[in-house]
């Protein structure tokens, strides 16, 4: 592993954007193989080339800036996916409603019959069956 340490000394290395490029490369490359579209194959190759150029780059400040811009766009998407997955996992025990006044999501336990829900944000009450 000493050779790897020596190789990567002063270089940027792997970050979230590089991982995203690698993850995007795999289905694109498979799609290019299945469809035999040369342009798709070239695009996938360009992605992997950019990924390796970033990993071995010595311009660390520029790569950090690029990764920061990527993360600003990626985190809202990641949080949205995480919340949907959590709701799916939680759907056996709870139901989710939106407040009719402020659209705040409200989580209530399932199997309690018709209940009056009070929005924690705007205190509006509404009736729902759980
Ligand atoms: Zn509300």
pLDDT value of residue 33: 94
Phi, psi of 90 (to 5 degrees): -85, -5
Ligand 1 mean position, distance from CA 118 (Å)? 8
pLDDT value of residue 130: 86
Residue 43 has pLDDT above 90, yes or no: yes
At CB < 8 A and 24+ separation, what contacts does 58-67 make? 58/10, 58/11, 58/12, 59/12, 60/12, 63/12, 63/15, 64/12, 64/15, 66/17, 67/15, 67/16, 67/17
Q: Where are the domains of the chain?
A: 8-90, 92-130
pLDDT band, very low/low/confident/very high, at 15 (cuts 50, 70, 90): very high
Ligand 1 mean position, distance from CA 107 (Å)? 12
Whole-angstrom Cα Rg for the chain: 23
Residue 56 has pLDDT above 90, yes or no: yes
Ligand 1 mean position, distance from CA 68 (Å)? 34
Helix (H, G, I), strand (E, B) or coil at 106: strand
Residue 1 has pLDDT above 90, yes or no: no
Residue 63 has pLDDT above 90, yes or no: yes
Residues whose CB is less than 8 angstroms from the CB of residue 106 and which lie 6 or more positions away in sequence, other chains included: 96, 97, 98, 99, 117, 119, 120
C-alpha to C-alpha distance for 6 and 29, rounded to whole angstroms: 31
Ligand 1 mean position, distance from CA 103 (Å)? 6
Residue 44 has pLDDT above 90, yes or no: yes
Q: What is the pLDDT of residues 85-118, one digit of tens each?
A: 999 999 999 999 999 999 999 999 999 999 999 9
Ligand 1 mean position, distance from CA 129 (Å)? 18
On average, the pLDDT of the chain sits at 95
The pTM score is 0.74
pLDDT value of residue 12: 95
Ligand 1 mean position, distance from CA 125 (Å)? 8
């Amino acid at each position: 592993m000493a050779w790897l340490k020596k190789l990567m000394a002063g270089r940027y290395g792997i970050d979230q954007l590089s991982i995203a490029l690698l993850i995007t490369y795999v289905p694109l490359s498979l799609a290019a193989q299945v469809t035999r579209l040369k342009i798709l194959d070239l695009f996938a190759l360009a992605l992997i080339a950019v990924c390796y150029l970033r990993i071995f780059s010595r311009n660390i400040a520029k790569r950090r800036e690029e990764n920061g811009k990527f993360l600003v766009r990626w985190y809202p998407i990641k949080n949205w996916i995480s919340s949907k997955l959590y709701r799916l996992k939680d759907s056996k025990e709870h139901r989710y409603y939106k407040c009719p006044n402020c659209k705040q999501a409200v989580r209530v336990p399932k199997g309690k019959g018709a209940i009056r829900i009070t929005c924690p944000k705007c205190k509006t009450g509404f009736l729902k069956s759980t």
